[in-house]
Amino acid sequence: MAVKKFEYNHLENLTLTHDLLKTSSKIHEYKGKQELYIATKPDILNKLTDLALIQSTEASNKIEGISTTDGRLKQIVEEKVKPRNRDEEEIAGYRDVLKLIHDSYEYIEIVPNNVLTLHKNLYNYSAKSYKGKYKISDNVITEKDFDGTERVRFVPAPAYLTENLMKELCEQYTQAIEKSEIDPLLLIPCFVLDFLSIHPFSDGNGRMSRLLTLLLLYRSGYLVGKYISIEMLIEKSKQTYYETLQASSVGWIENKQDYTPFVRYLLGIILKAYEDFSERFEVIINKEMTTAERVLEELNKSFEPLSRSDLQTLLPDISQRTIERALAELQDKYRIEKVGQGRSTKYKTIDEFKN
């Protein structure tokens, strides 16, 4: 078997196409505005952080088929109830690690022991023997087709190589970051792809990869994931996420992988998060519209009906009661209409008034 190398100081196989450079440049521009947003509206940031915690916890677990009801999810993230089944135990563990990364990312160095500790905390509410330990048997990554047929998508590194590979991965990444010769925006997706290709744990690799993505971004000064859920954006583009992971992992163990597809995908996700962050703040900072006008604008922009909770997410500076009054006002003026009933109620613009 070929000796696996993590040559981040070279990244010879990464094709820096025009679109890739353009995307990274845009992200750098948004990063420059980040401090302005943070200094301008700290009260709004708190609301965005609370929403992102819930959305990120839900989305990252949902990708792995782990879920609970919306009400229970919110209560678990807010630590108002204790988990009552396996799914909720894993949701609570994700919440804890996510909060730890949000609060203490500056102190969590990229070393194997810290990765193991985060994995242990992920299963803090579970009696799993493998928590905080590398896999002891080989694993494979499978997926199911639409007809239910299961097939092998990728064969990760064998278990006996895991410890050495994780040590080398962390060392090479840290060295590359410290040298500052390669843009962290290019290094971070490469680290994540390599982590997933090692697949170091018996379970929880996908969730760990998304938590590590946030940790690496925060440590390099890209804080957008605290306020806009990157995990939710990944979950919404799950098919592309898996396709680019697969494309970039071909020939991985032989050092022939092409990082480009996954780098392009993840940078696109980060840029979308910054665009959403910027858009929300521009509206808040420059708001001259009434609440009803802002609600109507969001409904106009959406390709599908929106619920009250959707509108709260999109308009974090406006209270739930004020949004409800605006919806009632717009209905009275026949500008919008209800779709569905009860908890599934959503709203859309009446076509003749759209835009």
| One domain, residues 191 and 330 | no
pLDDT of residue 86: 93
What is the C-alpha separation between 202 and 136, in angstroms, rounded? 8
Which run of H or E residues covers position 143?
A: strand 141-144
What digits encode the pLDDT tens for the residues 280-297? 777 666 566 788 888 888
Pick from 235, 265, 283: which residue ends a domain? 283
7 domain-assigned: no
Give CA 134 to chain center in angstroms. 24
Instruction: Answer for the pair 98, 241: CB distance below 8 angstroms, yes or no.
Output: no
Instruction: Answer for the pair 257, 193: CB distance below 8 angstroms, yes or no.
Output: yes
Range of the domain at 184: 18-283
Among 167, 157, 66, 160, residue whose Cα is nearest residue 116: 167
13 domain-assigned: no
| One domain, residues 92 and 111 | yes
User: Which pair of tokens denotes residue 174?
Assistant: 């840290």
| One domain, residues 313 and 252 | no
pLDDT of residue 144: 66
User: 341 Cβ partners below 8 Å, 6+ apart?
Assistant: none
Give CA 109 to chain center in angstroms. 20
| One domain, residues 345 and 279 | no
| CATH number, domain with residue 208 | 1.10.3290.10
Give CA 187 to chain center in angstroms. 17
4 domain-assigned: no
Pick from 283, 306, 338: which residue ends a domain? 283
What is the C-alpha separation between 301 and 332, in angstroms, rounded? 21
Mean pLDDT value of segment 57-77: 91
pLDDT of residue 168: 95
Instruction: Answer for the pair 260, 14: CB distance below 8 angstroms, yes or no.
Output: yes
| One domain, residues 105 and 231 | yes
Q: What is the CA radius of gyration of the chain?
A: 22
What stretches of the chain show up as alpha helix (H) in DSSP? 18-40, 42-63, 70-77, 86-104, 112-122, 162-179, 184-198, 205-219, 230-236, 238-249, 260-285, 291-301, 308-314, 320-332
Q: Give how many domains the chain has, as a whole number.
A: 2
Q: Mean pLDDT, the chain, as a whole number?
A: 88
| One domain, residues 348 and 272 | no
Give the least confident one: 208-212, 287-291, 327-331.
287-291
| One domain, residues 190 and 241 | yes
Which run of H or E residues covers position 317?
A: none
2 domain-assigned: no
Residue 11 has pLDDT above 70, yes or no: no
Instruction: Answer for the pair 298, 315: CB distance below 8 angstroms, yes or no.
Output: yes
1 domain-assigned: no
pLDDT of residue 36: 75
| One domain, residues 297 and 265 | no
**Strands 141-144 and 336-339, bridge-based pairing:** unpaired
